[in-house]
Amino acid sequence: MKILLTTVSLSSKSGGGTAERTRRLARHLAAQGHHCTIATMEDGDLADELRGAGMQVYAATSIRLRFRVPLIRPDRLTKIVSSVDAIHILGYWNLLSVATALTATRCRKPYAFSAAGEFVGLAGPRPLAHAFHLLFGKRMLRKAGLIVAITCLERMQIIQRLGVAPNRIVVIPNGVEPSPSAIGAAVALPDEPFVLFVGRLAEVKGPDLLLKAFATVAPAYPNVTLVVAGPDFGMGARLQQEVTKGGLKGRVLFTGHLGETDRTAAYRRALFVVVPSRAEAMSLVAIEAGAAGTPVLLTDCCGFDELEALGGGQVVPATVEGLRDGLNAMLARRFNLARDGERLRRHVEQNYAWPAIVAELARHLQSLLHKPVEAEPRH
């Protein structure tokens, strides 16, 4: 099967979980015998990796106004769409997804759509986002042959908020590579025990909540450091101020963005990983930490509440108080955390291995080929 994947970014630094998901889908679809082409608005290291694996990557240039506008060549996009059997669009709030969906409908090519967690923005949209949803988003969803949710929670939100029929939605979760490697890691990590945050330094990821919570428990655990790993998306200076305000100088290490091997090394060295997100479809960081055998403290906004029931960590409210209580509970039993990490590792390997997840996605894309695609009306 010839498949087109579209995503906003193929940079590991700025593309976040959606870029990583696209990368893994492409690599594993190719490994299972499918031919993948990828279209993106931002070139980067992941695009180079996919090109190196023999895949075609179309990177449209863009200009930034109040949002990024792709400078798409319609003839080229039409040629790419016409050459494939099915399309998987990842990401909601961008014009590349809109253009691809429109082109697919005109060419009578089926497409599956995944917001990759971005439907959270519909809960209280700003005027521009609301206009985007009314003008472009609703049509894009209506014309999709299939809606892909990342968790059962996201599936329920799509049904309740958007009125999409349940039989049009499938759940394809995030996954991990079994036995991730840390060979070649070069990140400088503390010698003393540390708690780890991995993610963009952006409000939605909640690093400010974690810093405030850590400040309240740090005096009781003077030998524990907090490592904050991730690119600055506008909160860096504010977080540094929080460190000073909370009396945490020397207790918090900012590493910046970590590549895959450095990230794996950090997971394995950490006492546990904290995911303090205010909103998340399904935390890829929590899954990656689990694959490395490290337990996780995460908020109840991360789409991975099963973690607590299986004994792989703790789920708390997305508040300073909730994170404070979670930090206290996990640090108090830090000498027993290895057992929790092993339970989480087994669960992740059994349920979230990319090869099985991608095979399921391919089966759903294959089923779209047997459904008629409604043509775009001519005016």
> Rounded mean pLDDT of 35-61?
95
Q: Do 209 and 132 fall into the same domain?
A: no
Tokens 């490592």, residue located: 227
Q: Do 97 and 169 fall into the same domain?
A: yes
Residue 180 falls inside a structural domain: no
Q: Do 32 and 55 fall into the same domain?
A: yes
Q: Do 96 and 142 fall into the same domain?
A: yes
Residue 166 falls inside a structural domain: yes
Structural domain including 260 reads: 194-351
Residue 19 falls inside a structural domain: yes
pTM, to two decimals: 0.86
Give the model's pLDDT for residue 125. Answer: 64
Q: Do 50 and 133 fall into the same domain?
A: yes
Q: Do 14 and 139 fall into the same domain?
A: yes
The pLDDT of residue 159 is above 70: yes
Tokens 């009306």, residue located: 377
Residue 375 falls inside a structural domain: no
The pLDDT of residue 38 is above 70: yes
Q: Do 319 and 364 fall into the same domain?
A: no
Angle 240-242-246 from CA coordinates, rounded to 5°: 125
Q: Which of 248, 210, 249 is nearest to 229 (CA)?
A: 210
- DSSP three-state, residue 91: coil
Q: Do 88 and 166 fall into the same domain?
A: yes
**Which position has the higher pLDDT, 131 or 39?**
39
C-alpha of 30 from chain center: 21
Give the model's pLDDT for residue 171. Answer: 95
Residue 379 falls inside a structural domain: no
Q: Do 100 and 230 fall into the same domain?
A: no
Give the model's pLDDT for residue 121. Answer: 60
- For β-strands 225-229 and 68-70, DSSP reports them as unpaired
Structure-token pair, residue 47:
């695009």
Give the model's pLDDT for residue 107. Answer: 95
Q: Do 75 and 115 fall into the same domain?
A: yes
Q: How many domains does the chain have?
A: 2
Q: Do 145 and 262 fall into the same domain?
A: no
Structure-token pair, residue 261:
């091997």
Residue 182 falls inside a structural domain: no
Q: Do 119 and 171 fall into the same domain?
A: yes
Q: Which of 53, 52, 47, 48 is nearest to 22 (CA)?
A: 47
Task: Supply the CATH number for residue 248's domain.
Answer: 3.40.50.2000
